[in-house]
Amino acid sequence: MSLYALYPSLIRPIVFCMQPETAHTMTIKLGQLLSKPPLLRLFGQKVASKPVEIMGLKFDNPLGLAAGMDKNGDAIDYLGALGFGHLELGTVTPLPQDGNPQPRMFRIREARGLINRMGFNNKGVDYLVKNLQQRHYNGIVGVSIGKNEITPLERAQDDYLICMQKVYNYCDYIAVNISCPNTKDLTALQDEEPLVKLLGGLKEEQMKLANSTNKYVPLVVKIAPDLNEQQINALCDACLSLKIDGMTCTNTTTSRDEIYGLPHASEWGGLSGEPLRQKATLVLSKVHARVQGKIPLIGVGGVGSVISAREKLAAGASLVQLYSSFVYQGPQVIEDIVNNL
């Protein structure tokens, strides 16, 4: 029996006595400590090999860690050793920033969900790059990029370009986060005109960097679950015409339909986990129907079992990611999903 099988009965009760953000900070600190080779062997997990190749990249298996858990790349080697086929780090911004005031993360225990309004708290792109340079993990690493809170929306592209240029040489793909509901007006970048301007600029830069470095780093766009059909179609069409390399469906939702009346349900922020599952899968299906296999898709939102992972793959995803189920089930969830896919 794996050590992590004890998480729900022994470790989670202790973890859940702490404030969610304290528990998160401790997890990353512990991950940092366990990232040393002898400990890695002891605390790592061996999972079945289920290779997937998309965007010109070879993933050991289809399950990845979603953005937001290791924003600064502090625990890359530990998280990589848990059996994920890829890690998405960030979201990172050009300058370090504190994010929103605490408390800003809430467990919706009855629904196996989380609400967060972190607001891109991170130590800045230069700090992340140092950690990327020092990593030993040789699986696929994506970096999610965003803009600083103080940067006006009209100048958002400058921030994304700075991050892109700095991480380009040190990661395998770049995720463009325009769907976080916790940074003021960020989701407006999903509207057609600003979207085409932003992604067009990033595509141009990608071509320049690919020529100068001899390395093509795919660009993936992460979208919100709260878009209507018309918005989804317009967004997909823009991604198709700009030759975006991948799309991730979805970020957290502002809807509270699934958790109405539960403790913390009225906190503002993005809802993730089980209550997001159906909504995210629906958006994924709609995107799949529109892009018709021309853009590879990553499914995220409520993945916490082999059934929910298969749901995303059946809806058109080539890869899946998780965050919230790691909080509720611990690292065992990775082995359970990958080995049974």
Which residues bind to ligand FMN, rule: CB under 6 A?
Answer: 66-68, 71, 90-91, 105, 114, 116, 118, 144, 177, 180, 222, 251-252, 272-273, 276, 300-303, 322-325
Helix (H) or strand (E) holding 177: strand 173-177
CB atoms within 10 A of CB 111: 17
We find the least distance from the C-beta atom of residue 272 to ligand FMN, in angstroms, to be: 3
CB atoms within 10 A of CB 319: 27
Peptide bond into 93 cis (omega under 30): no
| 61 vs 91 by CB, closer to ligand FMN | 91
Residues facing 321 on adjacent strands = 64, 300
As a whole number of angstroms, the distance between CA 279 and CA 159 comes to 30
We find the least distance from the C-beta atom of residue 281 to ligand FMN, in angstroms, to be: 11
For 125, the token pair is 């792109």
Per DSSP, 295 falls in state S
| 157 vs 281 by CB, closer to ligand FMN | 281
CB-based contacts of 216, cutoff 8 Å, min separation 6? 56, 206, 210
The closest of 159, 279, 293 to 227, measured between CA atoms, is 279
| 16 vs 213 by CB, closer to ligand FMN | 16
Say how many Å lie between the first and final Cα of the chain, rounded: 20
Residue nearest to ligand FMN (CB): 68
| 36 vs 139 by CB, closer to ligand FMN | 139
Under 8 Å between Cβ of 302 and 282 = no
We find the least distance from the C-beta atom of residue 1 to ligand FMN, in angstroms, to be: 25
Residue type, 173: Y
As a whole number of angstroms, the distance between CA 47 and CA 326 comes to 16
We find the least distance from the C-beta atom of residue 187 to ligand FMN, in angstroms, to be: 12
| 102 vs 241 by CB, closer to ligand FMN | 102
We find the least distance from the C-beta atom of residue 275 to ligand FMN, in angstroms, to be: 9
We find the least distance from the C-beta atom of residue 153 to ligand FMN, in angstroms, to be: 18
CB atoms within 10 A of CB 277: 23
We find the least distance from the C-beta atom of residue 116 to ligand FMN, in angstroms, to be: 4
| 31 vs 301 by CB, closer to ligand FMN | 301
| 39 vs 110 by CB, closer to ligand FMN | 110
| 39 vs 313 by CB, closer to ligand FMN | 313
Under 8 Å between Cβ of 262 and 108 = yes
Under 8 Å between Cβ of 321 and 52 = no
| 52 vs 327 by CB, closer to ligand FMN | 327
Under 8 Å between Cβ of 324 and 20 = no
We find the least distance from the C-beta atom of residue 37 to ligand FMN, in angstroms, to be: 28
We find the least distance from the C-beta atom of residue 33 to ligand FMN, in angstroms, to be: 21
The closest of 297, 296, 283, 285 to 253, measured between CA atoms, is 283
